[in-house]
Structure 1
Amino acid sequence: MAEHFIYILECADGTYYTGYTTDLDKRLAVHNTGRGAKYTRNRLPVRRIYEERLSTKREAMQREYAIKQLTRKQKERLIKGVRV
């Protein structure tokens, strides 16, 4: 069974990008070649600053959506280890 991850990247301009993948290292490499999400293409390089492993794709997609709804301050708390 595949592992499912959500992740937060910090872009070169200091903004955050949240995404979903089944292969964190490969996805980060794709982002940094400029072939990742449209949002990150002009904000390279990016670095992974947070990740969560989830059991199913459904759970991962729901968590990704929930994180995208957070404010920057809430995301910063999450990155520091405070579950939100």
Structure 2
Amino acid sequence: MAFSVYLLRCNDGSYYVGHTEDLEFRLAQHQAGTLGGYTAKRRPVTLAWCDTFAERDQAFWVERKLKGWGRAKKEALIAGDWELIQALARKRVANPASTSSA
């Protein structure tokens, strides 16, 4: 069984990160607002990025990592800009007191 990590763009421009074993079903839940929580009040949502992993632990680890990323890094991921992701990671290491927004 495969597990997906996904990044949604909400109607208010914010991002939501999650993981699931059934991406199509989970997206339908987010769209319908049946999950409640963050995305229910920010619909409609669009799938901005996703990746698949063989093990749930891998997907959960990636989800937690992405939840810690700031907006610029998430947008670089969506664009597939690995150089920018690396540059933003180096910038954060160089300035650990900086804060990032989701």
The alignment covers a number of residue pairs equal to 83
Counterpart of 2:19, as a letter, is Y
The Cα of 1:36 is off from its aligned counterpart by: 2.2
TM-score (normalised: structure 2) = 0.77
Q: Distance in 1 between matches of 2:36 and 2:15?
A: 12
**Bigger RCO of structures 1 and 2 (CA < 8 A, at least 6 apart):** 1
Q: 1:29 maps to which residue?
A: 28
- Structure of higher CA gyration radius: 2
- SS of residue matched to 1:12: coil
Superposed displacement of residue 35, structure 1: 1.0
The normalised TM-score by structure 1 is 0.93
Identify the structure with the greater strand proportion. Answer: 1
Higher helix share: 2
Shift of residue 82, structure 1, vs aligned partner: 2.8
Alignment deviations for residues 9-55 of structure 1 (CA, whole Å, 9 cap, x no partner): 01111100000011111110000111125000100111101001111
Percent identity of equivalent pairs: 36
1:44 aligned residue: 43
Distance 1:29 1:11 in 2: 14
Looking at structure 1, the residues matched to 24 and 33 of structure 2 have their Cα atoms a distance apart, in angstroms, of: 15
Cα RMSD for the two superposed structures: 1.1
Counterpart position of 2:3: 4
Structure 1: distance between partners of 2:29 and 2:46 = 12
Q: Please state if 1:65 is matched with 2:29.
A: no
